[in-house]
Structure 1
Amino acid sequence: MFSRIMTGIDGTQTSVRVLAEALRFASQEKAVVLVVSVLIPVSDTLGPGPGFGDTVGLSLTLKARAQVALSRAKDLFILAGVEGETRLIDPCDQDIAAVLLNEAARWQADLIVLGTHSRHGLERLLVGSTTVSCLRASHVPILVIPPESCRVAAGQS
């Protein structure tokens, strides 16, 4: 049914679960996987504005973390017996959801697997939700994986 599955990872525990689910699904479907990590713009992580903190050092740290996560994804491809590729993308001041959807279209994904951090209220208003933005704009089906805390609360393991 699905032959090209794309997933986005951000180094969080939720994204590890998302990748595991995407690989499990890809293994069942005999699909190829693209794992994407979009660099977080340093301006989105700092707050007040220019001159606040070590932006070069932070940028390099975020890039290194993303590269490690993508390297681990490659190892998981082998363990899962799945064909896959990874991609690190600089958003160039674009919205992360738009970057993910553009990459899915460019790569011709027929399924996108994303996670949600289940933010609510003020936190969601301030931080936003990449997954919700993707759901609203995508022309490709999206499988959303909730955080572990939602599964535990629902009595699942």
Structure 2
Amino acid sequence: MYDTILLPVAPGGTANDAVPHVRSLAERYDATVHVVAAVDTIEHTLGGPRVGSLSGRVESGARKRVEEVTADLESAGIDVVGEVIHGEPLRVIDNAITDNDVDLVVMPTHSRTGLQRVLLGSVTEKTVRTSPVPVVTVPIRDPDE
């Protein structure tokens, strides 16, 4: 049913709540998991050493995050591919779905509501609305709970 699963991760993010769900689905369906981090910076627009430094830190955080998640899934015997891609997150996710013939997307969500949701938006929400394949959303637990 699901041969290829996409797991977008935030550069430098630490939320692992979606990983157990991806692991379970991949094991059940013997699926390959594509872990993707989108690095969206303004380096090309503004240039300069300070922006370049920020861009380097964001990309480094993204690489580290992808490596951590792929190592976690590989340790469970799951076939996994990790990639950091430059671009706007929604576009990166949309392209990854098409380019990798993805059957299912699994994404964490902050479950924001009200004004916070309107002001901050949500890559997960936009993906749910525009994805050509099913999207499973996993709420990020509050570490204080």
TM category (shorter chain) comes to 0.7 to 0.9
Is the Cα contact below 8 Å between 1:111 and 1:143 reproduced in 2? yes
**Normalised TM-score (structure 1):** 0.80
Q: Per the alignment, do residues 121 and 38 of structure 1 end up closer, same or farther by CA in structure 2, a change over 3 Å counting? A: same
- Counterpart of 2:81 in structure 1 is 85
- Counterpart of 1:99 in structure 2 is 92
Cα deviation for residue 147 of structure 1 reads 1.1
- Counterpart of 2:4 in structure 1 is 4
Is the Cα contact below 8 Å between 2:5 and 2:102 reproduced in 1? yes
Cα deviation for residue 77 of structure 1 reads 2.5
Q: Per the alignment, do residues 42 and 18 of structure 1 end up closer, same or farther by CA in structure 2, a change over 3 Å counting? A: farther
- Counterpart of 1:139 in structure 2 is 132
Higher helix proportion (structure 1 or 2): 1
Per-residue CA deviations over 1:63-111 (Å, capped at 9, x if unaligned) read 00111111112211221110010111101xxx42122012111100000
Instruction: Letter of the 1:12 partner, please give it.
Output: G
**C-alpha distance in 2, partners of 1:100/1:26?**
19
Unaligned stretches of 5+ residues in structure 2: none
Unaligned stretches of 5+ residues in structure 1: 44-49, 153-157
Root-mean-square deviation (CA), in Å? Answer: 2.3
Is the Cα contact below 8 Å between 1:9 and 1:19 reproduced in 2? no
Is the Cα contact below 8 Å between 1:42 and 1:58 reproduced in 2? no
The sequence identity of aligned pairs, in percent, is 26
Is the Cα contact below 8 Å between 2:13 and 2:65 reproduced in 1? no
Cα deviation for residue 141 of structure 1 reads 0.5
**Normalised TM-score (structure 2):** 0.86
Higher strand proportion (structure 1 or 2): 2
Listed as ranges, the matches of 1:24-43 within 5 Å are: 24-42=24-42
Runs of at least 4 residues off by over 6 Å: none
SS in 2 for 1:60: helix
**Number of residue pairs matched?**
141
- Counterpart of 1:73 in structure 2 is 69
